Amino acid sequence: MDDLNPELARLLAAKDARRLRLARASFPEKIAALVCLQTMAAPIQRRRGREVAPWGLAKTPAADGST
Amino acid sequence: MEATLRVLNELEREGAFVRYAIGGAVGAIFYMEPFLTYDLDVFVVLPATERGLLTLAPVYEALRRRGYPEAGECVDIEGVPVQFLPAYNPLVEEALAEAVETLYEATPTRVLRAEHLAAIMVQTGRDKDRQRFATFLAEAELDRARLDGIIRRHGMETRWKQWTT
């Protein structure tokens, strides 16, 4: 990291710090974040033909009609 | 998720399995930054059968009676696809016996210890385990003495070195 532009080094350090902060979050907070991730990724997964649903929600068919 | 855990606790109380603990990706997420997964892997110690067979049939039957039929390799319990994995070797048996008791909101549950999860990733050895492993080691707080003991007891020294150097 020594050779990096100081601004980039600061941004990368902030990303690492955020990652560690998330790693120390409570289990329910992490599961809430996971469900957000599932919700964001589900349309992409469905377009790839993978039948997925964010936790707590019913599975919905893919946009092309497949499930 | 909390409703799912309540069902798991009821199944354990009723004897569908002797003990359960969360493992796999969600077990790892307990110790590290969340990443995408859609399944909840639940390791179980099954009751002894006369023939000594490891079968999940009684677990599936108990769930069917409650209105949770299996779909493929998972059972949708309160909106969460749960995959049950019987304790299939001494490492997983030990991991289940020593799993950490925790609370999810107001519901008690168990999660495999970080050191056992790391050892299981190495033992299982799939590409996705390897991808997850380095981040897990960087983010999870591991008890080095406990981890060394696990690696030694289960004869994983060579493989562990391959994965960590």
**Domains of chain B by range and CATH?**
2-164 (3.30.460.40)
Considering chain A, what percentage of its residues have pLDDT values greater than 70? 81
Say which residues have a Cβ less than 8 Å from residue A27's Cβ, sequence separation at least 6: B30, B102, B104, B111
* Mean pLDDT value of segment A10-27: 90
Tell me what pLDDT residue A62 has. Answer: 42
- d(Cα B79, Cα A59) in Å, to the nearest integer? 9
DSSP 8-class letter at B151: H
Residues of A in contact with B140 (CB under 8 A): 23
Residues of A in contact with B105 (CB under 8 A): 28
Which pair of structure tokens corresponds to residue B11? 């199944």
Tell me what pLDDT residue A43 has. Answer: 94
* Mean pLDDT value of segment A7-12: 90
Q: Which alpha helices (H) appear in B90-139, and where do they start and end? A: 90-97, 114-124, 127-139
Neighbours of B70 (CB within 10 A): 17
For β-strands B40-45 and B80-86, DSSP reports them as: parallel
- For residues B96 and B6, the answer to whether their CB atoms sit within 8 Å is no
Which pair of structure tokens corresponds to residue B73? 């390799």
Alpha carbon of A42: minimum distance to chain B alpha carbons (Å): 10
For the stretch B99-147, pLDDT in tens is 999 999 999 999 999 999 999 999 999 999 999 999 999 999 999 999 9
Q: Chain A interface, mutation test: which of B4, B22, B33, B102, most A Cβ atoms within 10 Å?
A: B33
Residue of A nearest to B30 (CA): A27
Residue of B nearest to A27 (CA): B30
Interface pTM (ipTM) of the complex?
A: 0.88
Which pair of structure tokens corresponds to residue B157? 């020294």
- For residues B147 and B118, the answer to whether their CB atoms sit within 8 Å is yes
Q: Chain B interface, mutation test: which of A15, A22, A30, most B Cβ atoms within 10 Å?
A: A30
| Helix/strand/coil for B62 | helix
For the stretch B151-163, pLDDT in tens is 999 999 999 999 9
In the block, which residue shows the tokens 């990706």? Answer: B25
Query: ∠A48-A53-A59 over CA atoms, to 5°?
Result: 95
- d(Cα A22, Cα A67) in Å, to the nearest integer? 33
Residues of A in contact with B29 (CB under 8 A): 30-31, 34
Tell me what pLDDT residue B135 has. Answer: 92
Residue B86 pairs in a beta bridge with B44
| Helix/strand/coil for B110 | strand
CB-based contact B33 A23, cutoff 8 Å: yes
CB-based contact B31 A23, cutoff 8 Å: yes
pTM: 0.89
Residue of B nearest to A22 (CA): B33
Q: Chain B interface, mutation test: which of A24, A27, A50, most B Cβ atoms within 10 Å?
A: A27
- For residues B91 and B119, the answer to whether their CB atoms sit within 8 Å is yes
Tell me what pLDDT residue A1 has. Answer: 53
Give rounded-to-5 percent helix, strand, coil for chain B. Answer: 45, 20, 35
